[in-house]
Structure 1
Amino acid sequence: MVRQEMAVHLKLLLIHTTILSLVSALTLPSQVSPKSIIKLSSSTTEPGSGSLVTPASTASKDTDSELAVYRYINSNTGTCILLQADAVVEVNFLLNNLDEQADSYIPKDALVDGNCKNEDASFLSISWKGYRLLLNFAKTPGGERWYIDNVELAVSPDLYQLRGIQTHGKLIKLYHKEILIPTPIGKSYACEEVDIDLIPDEEDNPPPGLRGSLLLRKLQLQPFIYKGENFEAAFECKPQRTHLDETAPIAVGSTLAIAVLMTVTGYGIFRYFKIKNVQYNTME
């Protein structure tokens, strides 16, 4: 009788082990590591994901009339950096413990400056009233791709929208220091919308709550232009894949596992008492 009871307990232990394995198999695939989650707007695309498409014949003919074109011309080679976009910058900050925001569209007549003397690095500067946007470009070590190496937004604290911010006479600066939009050399980059987060550098002693963003709508961009005055073939971005809702798979898996566990446990208890009853009747 003791051996039979030990056998029943052993079976129940094996059943519970199997159920735990089943629960792990059902829930683990749905878990996502925090490092894999990319905080992206719904229309923001994953940098570098794209395909080659037919180039625009000329910037003037194929450019949306509502879009601004910012062109930096090198005195030796002609146009070397070309940017087309409907662009807006936002600066957020705390003032008297309240969230405040200053924003500005980048005008079509903004002052454009830059430098293309280095074959592997260049920059484009766009300035307008109270603002200066700096885009730094670089190439990968093998020279196969170009990318945005750094974005810097400098804002004057004298702007009416920024009244009350304590900056001690310094410019308000925001940065994006991660690689953006790697693109094959000789191609332009095109995207319906790119939203770039901007954050302060703590070494600048920024005011409380400072952050910002650069939104580039209908973007087309190309640095390192060596021939011609217009964009080359566009490396178009693809929409960022949205993460699937993890709640449903986890809920279904957990419910199924619990149901199976209850069924098997109930059957084990039923079998245990049935064996005890049979043993009792046999003894009588």
Structure 2
Amino acid sequence: MDSQHIIYIFGQCLIVLQAIFFLSMVDAAADISTTLPPNFVPVIDGAVTVRPADLPEILSVPDAKGEICTLASLEATIVIWPEGDESRNVQIKMPDRDVNVSTVQNCFNNPSSSVKPLLVVTWSSSFQLCFYISKDENQWSLDQIVFAFNTSEVPLGIVKSELRTFRSEANALSDLKAPLGSFYRCFSPKPLSLLPLDGDSVVLGQNKSQNIQDKAFLRLSNFELQPFLGDLKEFGEEVVCREDVITKRHRRRRDSSVTIAVGSSLAVISVVTVMGYAIFRYVKVKAVGYDTMK
């Protein structure tokens, strides 16, 4: 057998070994990545309006007076690593259907001392993504994102309570703002680190000899947000995120006749009670002098 045949056989063996290794990695990833079932106990109570079957892309959120306060469109995936172990990968994805929207704010009465979310997205009756938004005379700012969920059937190992909450990291949202009358858009995937709130910041490690913090991140994509609409009935001028500027992603064309999913006003007092004090320490603090949780 000449050298060329030996080299050829050796190369084929390498290709086979590489394919076997790749398949084993795929199988391992499938084992550790968990998609959560939809039948969870509600985090909060209250009837809300479900998105219709034709699946409109715009979420329209009225306040308690029926005034449309916020327009939003987004896709969201939350990844949690219990005890910081990235091999135990729990993924929670916001579904395309059966997404409910609500608010605990009055659109035109949003005091600076308020720590209530202006936009609450709920799905599977147990997962909530809360957006805390403020404004001044010239612009609005997304100050905080909080993810709350029920842990009764979530594979996180040892947990301290049924309700777990994570909040966005300090200064992570400093660029999520726009002038009043304009909307922020970012079609590119935008990863945001999440940290546990005070009551859930540390969990008991599996070896019971040390305390280890859970880790998580939120990935937003196709994200558009405009609060405090006033007399507007649709998105205004856009403020484009730097990721879209770099990748040159363009605004999608919208059909002006698109059906709008209208959420209902919902007084989510239980969420405010559980998270109010912890969130107060972060929501209104800006980039300079922003507190850390610990």
Q: Specify the TM-score bucket, using the shorter chain as the normaliser.
A: 0.5 to 0.7
Counterpart of 1:127 in structure 2 is 122
Instruction: Pick closer, same or farther for the CA change 1:230–1:75 going to 2, 3 Å.
Output: farther
Higher strand proportion: 1
The one of 106, 118, 129 equivalent to 2:94 is: 106
AA of the residue aligned to 1:204: D
CA RMSD of aligned residues (A): 2.8
- Report what 2:196 is aligned to: 200
Q: Which has the larger radius of gyration?
A: 1
In structure 1, what is the equivalent of residue 62 of structure 2? Answer: 73
**Alpha carbons of 1:229 and 1:75: their partners in 2 closer, same or farther (altered >3 Å)?**
farther
Q: What SS is found at the alignment partner of 1:100? A: coil
Match of 2:75 in 1: 86
- Identity rate of aligned residues, in percent? 17
- The two structures have a TM-score, normalised by structure 1, of 0.53
Alignment size in residue pairs: 173
One-letter amino acid of the structure 1 residue matched with residue 94 of structure 2: I
Quote the Cα distance in structure 2 between the aligned partners of 1:153 and 1:190. Answer: 20
Contact kept, 8 Å, 1:67 with 1:86, in 2: the verdict is no
**What is the DSSP-based 3-state SS (H/G/I as helix, E as strand, rest coil) of the residue aligned with 1:227?**
coil
Other-structure match for 1:15: none
* 2:186–2:244 contact (8 Å) kept in structure 1: no
**Which runs of at least 4 in structure 1 moved beyond 6 Å after TM superposition?**
none
Q: CA deviation at 1:71?
A: 2.0
Partner of 1:246: none
Pairwise CA distance, 1:138: 0.6
CA distance in 1, matches of 2:94, 2:149: 13
Aligned counterpart, 2:135 = 139
- Which runs of structure 2 are paired with 1:246-261 in the superposition (5 Å)? none
**Aligned pair 1:173/2:177, yes or no?**
no
Higher share in helix: 1
Asked whether the 8 Å contact 1:77–1:226 carries over to 2, the reply is no
- Match of residue 265 from structure 1: none
